[in-house]
Amino acid sequence: MIIQKFGGTSVGSAERIKAVANLIADDTRKIVVLSAVSGTTNQLVQINKALYKQDKVAVEGLLTSFESAYNQLIQDLFISEESRLKAKSHLSGHINHIRSFTLDMFTPFEERTVLAQGELLSSSLLQLHLSEKGVKSVLIPALDFMRIDQNNEPDEWYVKSNLNRLLDAQQETKLFVTQGYICRNHFGEVDNLKRGGSDYTASIIGAAIGASEVQIWTDIDGMHNNDPRIVEKTRPIDRLTFDEAAELAYFGAKILHPSSILPARKSNIPVILKNTMHPEKPGTVISNVSSGNFIKAVAAKDGITAIKIKSDRMFLAYGFFAKSV
Ligand code: ADP
Ligand code: ASP
Ligand code: MG
């Protein structure tokens, strides 16, 4: 079984969602992990800010533009009026859910529930589109199996047992769809794996089911040797080891969530970075095979605080840090 994760830009328009549907509709048994439509999570963050201020006018304004953008997407994505009506009713369900929070006190619990609406929406739209195309798929809700523990680490045992139970109940099914990013915490509340967390979801799922491969489909042809947002003429890297990729991700290569390589590395599952716009390009293969001992890429990160500690009496001293914090 393989995992295919599609990021925000890969589902960023009706055309992109149609392309994803074509890419996933083959005979390989797989779990498709979806991000929210690009821009959606940022809009939800803005809505949350307005909700915290109890600024109902701002919330209404943001929800109106959110709804009209999705109505356009629905118009372009579906062929039949019946499918459009179904999609619109999903959309209003999500929007009314968010709207209902304007009446109550707004807390981090509601905030996380609002943030979850993006992935819930994109996955239901893809699934409706697949069913309109006559492609059979089963939605396995991430909130039914993805959980983090009290240290905010994936609850491996919980994820493994619940996910395998859901899959075992659908032996005949080839195509499963689920949401990236969202999960439950150890209180059972809706939570998330932090921004960009859908990559992490894909890797956690891959490890939980012993997948043969985790594919991360995005808007660029693999990990480049430098950050293409800053440096010109960067080029993709064919191969990276888990350690190299994890280090680049941790130190700012936005293409991967900082923790996303760890579960795959632990289970030795190759991670392939692919471009949704150019599926024919080889992308980057991340595995335990090294292509040699040379510098592969450079990454950069803003907002780092460096603390320099100097002490005259540190020579041969141990336990220094423990004493100073
Ligand atoms: P997705 O929405 O598919 O998760 P992201 O925006 O999170 O996509 O990640 C892809 C982006 O990461 C690329 O468009 C690129 O601008 C940025 N990026 C930063 N560093 C790198 C790098 N070293 N190689 C490739 N992409 C990088
Ligand atoms: N939608 C979430 C975000 O924008 C998660 C993801 O895209 O991976 O951060
Ligand atoms: Mg991302």
**H helix intervals, 5-155:** 14-24, 40-52, 56-77, 81-100, 108-133
At residue 314, the pLDDT reads 67
- Is the pLDDT confidence value at 325 over 60? no
- Is the pLDDT confidence value at 104 over 70? no
CA nearest to 118, candidates 185, 42, 187, 65: 42
* 246's tokens: 């994890």
- Is the pLDDT confidence value at 49 over 60? yes
CB atoms near residue 259 (< 10 Å): 20
- Is the pLDDT confidence value at 324 over 70? no
Distance, CA 11 to ligand 2 centroid (Å)?
12
The environment of the single-atom ion ligand 3, i.e. residues with CB closer than 5 A, is: 7, 196
H and E: helices and strands count for the chain: 10, 10
Q: Take atom 5 of ligand 2 and give the residue whose Cα is closest.
A: 196
At residue 320, the pLDDT reads 67
213-235 confidence digits (pLDDT tens) = 999 999 999 999 999 999 999 99
Q: Take atom 27 of ligand 1 and give the residue whose Cα is closest.
A: 255
Please provide the CATH number assigned to the domain covering 2-324: 3.40.1160.10
257-269 confidence digits (pLDDT tens) = 999 999 999 999 9
Among 16, 251, 255, residue to substitute to test ligand 1 (most atoms within 8 Å of Cβ): 255
- Is the pLDDT confidence value at 302 over 70? yes
Domain boundaries, the chain: 2-324
pLDDT band for 319, please (50, 70, 90 cuts). confident
| DSSP annotation string for 160-179 | HHHHHHHHHTTTT--EEEEE
- Is the pLDDT confidence value at 9 over 60? yes
The response to whether residue 196 sits with its C-beta less than 6 Å from ligand 1 reads: yes
pLDDT band for 318, please (50, 70, 90 cuts). confident
pLDDT band for 284, please (50, 70, 90 cuts). very high
Query: What phi, psi does 86 have (nearest 5°)?
Result: -60, -50
Percent of the chain with pLDDT over 90: 90
61-83 confidence digits (pLDDT tens) = 999 999 999 999 999 999 999 99
